[in-house]
Every structure is written in C-alpha cells, then in structure tokens.
Amino acid sequence: MNDKQHHRSARGDARNADPRATTQDYTRNLALAAVAGQSGCVTVILIFAGLFLGMYLDSRLGTHPAFTLGLILFSIPVSLYAMIRMMLSSVGAIHLSPPVGKSGMGGAASPEKSFKKENGS
C-alpha cells in the first residue's frame, strides 16, 4: 500500500471510528447548552418573585414601597449569582472533541487537559 492510500484509510478510520460516540457527545453538549440558555429564565423568575412577594408583604403590612424595593434589590444579585453558577457548571461539563478527520493535536495536549474552568471549582 502506498503512502496516499495509507493516509486515506487512516482518515476514513478516524471518521468512522464510532459515530454513536460523536452523536452522544453532540446531544449531550446540546442539552448542556440548553441549560445554559435557561439561566436567563431563572433570572427573570427570581426578580418577578421578589417583586410579587414584596408587593404582597407591602399590602399586608401597610409599608408601601419598602418590601417591594428591598426584595427587588435583593433578588438582582441573587439571580446574577444563580445565572453565573448555572452557566459555569453547564459550560464546564461540555466535552470538546477533535474535528472529524483529525486524529492528533500535533503535539498539543488533549482538549480535556488544556481547558480549565476560570472559577477553579
């Protein structure tokens, strides 16, 4: 077998190695991306929960803007913290796979070892 034929067969083996693993990784990464997108919805829910709870407490206790403003101001940093934690955990769980047809990284470390989370958790 000459050099070109060997190169073609190696490239074909890399593409057809395990299509189920590639599909499973793609599906898993897509699900994790959806979780990261849902963090925006959590932010809206927490802020509206603070708004409605504050309005309810103000109507019951007769302290018109106090609880509403206090709970809205409290819910903003809580929702930002929840959103950041959800996104970091879902993005950190995404597995990077090499492009199709690439069997090595050219001497570089594997993607799992070369990417680290910034928050250290």
The tens digit of pLDDT for each residue in 32-79 reads: 778 777 888 898 999 999 999 999 999 999 998 999 999 999 999 999
C-alpha to C-alpha distance for 42 and 48, rounded to whole angstroms: 10
C-alpha to C-alpha distance for 104 and 99, rounded to whole angstroms: 10
What single-letter amino acid sits at 44?
A: V
C-alpha to C-alpha distance for 63 and 80, rounded to whole angstroms: 27
C-alpha to C-alpha distance for 71 and 64, rounded to whole angstroms: 13
C-alpha distances (whole Å) from 54 to each of 27, 43, 58, 86, 114 are: 41, 17, 6, 26, 47
Residue range 81-108: average pLDDT? 71
* pLDDT band at residue 93 using 50, 70 and 90 as cut-offs: confident
pLDDT greater at residue 27 or residue 63 = 63
SS3 54: helix
Which of 7-11, 51-55, 77-81, 95-99 bottoms out in mean pLDDT, i.e. has the lowest?
A: 7-11
